[in-house]
Amino acid sequence: MGNDYLHGLDRAHLVHPVVSWSSHEQQGATILESGSGAYLRDSEGRQYLDGFSGLWCVNIGYGHDSVVEAATRQMRQLPYATGYFHYSSEPSIRFAEAIARRTPGDLDHVYFTLGGSDAIDSAVRFIRYYHNVTGAPQRKHFIALERGYHGSSSTGSGLTALPLFHDHFDGPSAFQHHIPSYYPYRNPVGPSEEAIIAESVRALRATVERLGAENVAAFFCEPIQGSGGIIVPPRGWLKAMHQVCREYGILLVVDEVITGFGRTGPLFALEEEGVVPDLMTMAKGLTSGYAPLGAVVLSERVYRGIADNAPAGKPVGHGFTYSGHPVSCAVGLEVLRLYEEGGLLANGQRVGDYFQQRLAELVEHPLVGESRGRGLLGAVELVTDKTRKTKFDSSLRLPDRLLTLGRERGLIFRAFADDIIGFAPPLCCSHADIDLLIERLSSTLDAVLEKPDVRAALRQPVSGKRSVQAS
């Protein structure tokens, strides 16, 4: 009765993000009850390997008592402190300093938000304010990448370039523009890294010049595209785009909401390019999902531009009630300690190499056109024809079927709308956990291949299943 009662309440009252509301009324929820390490258990007692870290966020894994203790201590001592009216709290001060010490270059000024979407909105507001008070009020246009994801808030959803987040929401806005993704697997210029970078540079230049360089405020990008299908750029891509922004006087915003905190290997993915953007957004792994928190980190140039040019004595009119929440910041400090002193960052780097190796083996499967990723962020893209890279017809509803088959095998992953399966396993994973993930994924692919309509859609002969078992 307990579970039936909860399912009924869920259907009647809880609105879920990014689902069909009518479909959810019919399907209902899988109610998660507990977690430990890389594993979850639902209210029916079934166990799952969480290959997606919640929603790209539980980087340290589940069940770390030291994080619970840090939150408990702070809740007992001071559960809330406003940042308004020049008030502060020790956890928010210490966490801001800890972040500033680890971000590259002069990214030294931290504004705390509740998550990634409002970090993007805050960045947009700060950029507008900066240009308005530094003598460039005409800079109103923002450029981002197709297939990019920058949240689902009113402003961020327009910078996001995934149709689902625009449909029936009247997005994007007229000031938001997109250039093609670099997408090496499907780039019209071919697989050459030099050609892909050159084409992205050309597209950014063309868009800037069409709008007028003096009218462009900023360029937003992820170091690796996440919700667009875990698309990894060629080495040197981010550095090349940064150079174009510098040439035109455009601010560069690097969105590390998904890629930050060890997800791709280093603490931040942009470290591999040696790029220092003007602003940087983060969330998810910032607290490993144990408490809501996001942040915008501003460079000295942007911070001083606002601080020194805002009307004297007039407050900068942007703020959230829970900015710098002391409990969330106390959680973040302990999570950061676990990344570094607790060895999780180093473990993620070791296991990430193994994960990419095992994921690459799946290209032998009849359904897999490509595997890709970096560190503990990876994807396989499914096709009907490996040579032509043709996609499955949407009528097959492959993503829904994959999710169901994976769940039946005790594996949680992301099935993107265009037949890409995404993974972001926790940094606490062992090699054995990765072997189990690959084994269950291979079994899921074999199961979907058994479906007659899927098998009929393949344009190459299938001589037999090619399972990739644990090694």
| pLDDT of res. 34 | 98
What is residue 10's DSSP assignment? H
DSSP 337-394: HHHHTTSHHHHHHHHHHHHHHHHHGGGGSTTEEEEEEETTEEEEEE-SBTTTTBPPPG
Average pLDDT for runs of 10 along the chain of length 471:
87 95 93 98 97 98 98 98 98 98 98 98 98 98 98 96 95 97 97 98 98 98 98 98 98 98 98 97 98 98 98 96 98 98 98 98 97 98 96 94 97 96 98 98 97 88 48 36
Q: Report the candidate in 167, 161, 171 with the shortest Cα–Cα distance to residue 227.
A: 161
Distance CA 43, CA 56 (A): 22
279 close to 300: Cβ distance less than 8 angstroms: no
pTM over 0.75: yes
Q: How far apart are the first and last CA of the chain?
A: 43
| Residues of the chain by 3-state class (helix, strand, coil), percent to 5 | 45, 15, 40
Collapsing DSSP to helix, strand or coil, 119 comes out as helix
105 CB contacts (<8 Å, ≥6 apart)?
276, 299
| pLDDT of res. 470 | 39
| pLDDT of res. 5 | 94
Q: Which two tokens stand for residue 412?
A: 């949680």
Q: What are the beta bridge partners of residue 112?
A: 295
